[in-house]
Structure 1
Amino acid sequence: MTTQEDITRYANILQMDSDFVAPFVSGSQNTSIPIQESFPEVETITSNSTKCGGNFSVDEDNLLVSAWLNIGMDAVQGTDQRAERFWEKIWQYFGENNTYGTTRSISSLQSRWGNINRETSRFAGFMAKIEARNASGGTDEDKLKEAKELYKTSPAPSTGKKSAFAFEHCWVVLKNQPKWSTPKERSKGLLHTPSSIDQVGSNDDDTVVVERPIGRKAEKAKRKRIDGDKGFQDFLMKKLQFIEESREQEKEALRIKADRVQVDAQRADIEKERLHLETIREAKRDDMKKDRLRLETIREEGKIMAMDTSGMNDRERLYFENLKDQILARQQLE
């Protein structure tokens, strides 16, 4: 439920230009260094691809907002940053990420941020009013449309002129930051108990509370814890990788062993086949040897059978006649 205090706080936003940057650029938590008391008129915004003269493009505005958030909200850098060093870092960040072919000085970035800061803060006040009117109904799109119309029909405090809201592209990025958040968003717990450095503005009774980034020690402890978790995760990953590699090596060893068994079996089959063939060849050699002996025997026996015994004496004739009888008897048996 939006209270009168919420409306009062956002009314004070309209008076806060560069004061919001004080927590991030002060030399200590108890000393504020104002950046600029007043800012030039809102510059005309060119399209994303077209930049005329010294005007900032939408892309440049978004880059400047990104630089301010990254440098101002860096907990490791801390909020104890002096203005000069703070804007040097923003200028450096802007230059390193600027791909739009423009060159901006520190004073140009400060001036442009002053416009963005003032007008988006002013728009935040109108959004707070719309939230108060439509606390129980209306879509976010309807509320945004009403706030833009209210902005357009309300004269600017610094000039008294009326104009359309030219920094909606910046508002989209900044609206979730504490200074620009609506009471509805604050009720979700976006803001915390204020400390001395969180209080922005000159009115002690109506103070806008700005969310302070996490402390440097806490951030470092958080990152150390994250790094420790990451180290443990890396250890687990390496352990799992080692286990997987061991499993693969074991599988490979088993495969090699199986291949070796298969090769040994093949070698045994080959040796068995070789021995079988050798046996066959040996048998053939024996058969051939037998055939040669048989042929030799046949030739010798043929000579004996053809031998003329008429000129022999009785003993010789009887011997050869017996041989012939034996040859004939063996042939009959075969």
Structure 2
Amino acid sequence: MDPNQYNFQQSMFHLIQNQQNSNPQNSQFPPPPTNSTVFFSSPNNPNMRPVKRKPREVFTREEDTLLMQSWLNVSKDPIVGVDQKVDSFWLRITDNYNQYHGQSREKLQGQLKSRWHRINSLVQKFVGCYKQAVHGKKSGASEKDILVNAHAFFEQDEGAPFNLEYAWRLLKDEPKWMGASTENSSKRSKNSTSGAYTASPNSETPSSYEFNSSSPMERPMGQKAAKRKGKAKENTNATEPPSSVNSDTMTKRMNLMENLARLKEEENKLVKEKMESEARLKEEENKLIKEKMEFEAMQFIMSDTSKMNDSRREFHEKRCNNLKEKYGW
């Protein structure tokens, strides 16, 4: 036997005996650590080495929102939907999240899955509290009053405030979430003896009217319906005779070419009209410039020369002769 292995077994035997037969206060061995540091040792390395536990990943509000949107995007795929293997489903969610994470850090599949279950559980519990607040609302109560009561019910049941109202607002009207996330749903039921409300599990899916939705959403096409629609289209194309298919294709192609030719003709017409309009504007602009110059020349010719000296009057006469010759006056 290896001497190191034998010494290790002997040490463990004496350690167990001392812990069973002696008072812990008088023991020569120190008490086990109470903090989050775990110590490991081995026969080949008897020195203790601390290993820190990895802290739990903390999600920001923006990261929660991106996670929920990724879950909804994958769930709304009518061909795949939520009716698929869990690993494949969450792999697609992880890819979607990490594709748009922006300044946030990338997340592992396990981190996203754990956070989603936490959000889903708390939001489903708040759904039950909101439902109870709606049913018990007084006359004239506003939406704000209902929310205040729902938060109070939640804190009464869970012993902590509900800090995921933004998640509830994002998910509450989504048909896919309302239909799929029923595992952790709950409603507040009244105890007949004490009259108090308690949270009890419920697999019933909350309906959209319970959230006072202003615009009911149409439920997305389901996975099976989408597949049936695709197969029906394939079967229809397969049963049509080849000549009919070719004829339809040629007709569509000819119609497309005619439309393109008509659009090209209209485009050329618009270009021509634009060029003619620009030419007219340029002509009018030149005409205005010419009229302005003639007006200024006429003003110069009609200037009063009585107060001019001889040299100035001589220059004025020469300039007037040039202007008259230029404009044909």
Q: Which category describes the TM-score, using the shorter chain as reference length?
A: 0.3 to 0.5
Structure label with greater radius of gyration: 1
Higher RCO by CA contacts (8 Å cutoff, separation 6 or greater)? 1
TM-score, normalised to structure 1's length? Answer: 0.43
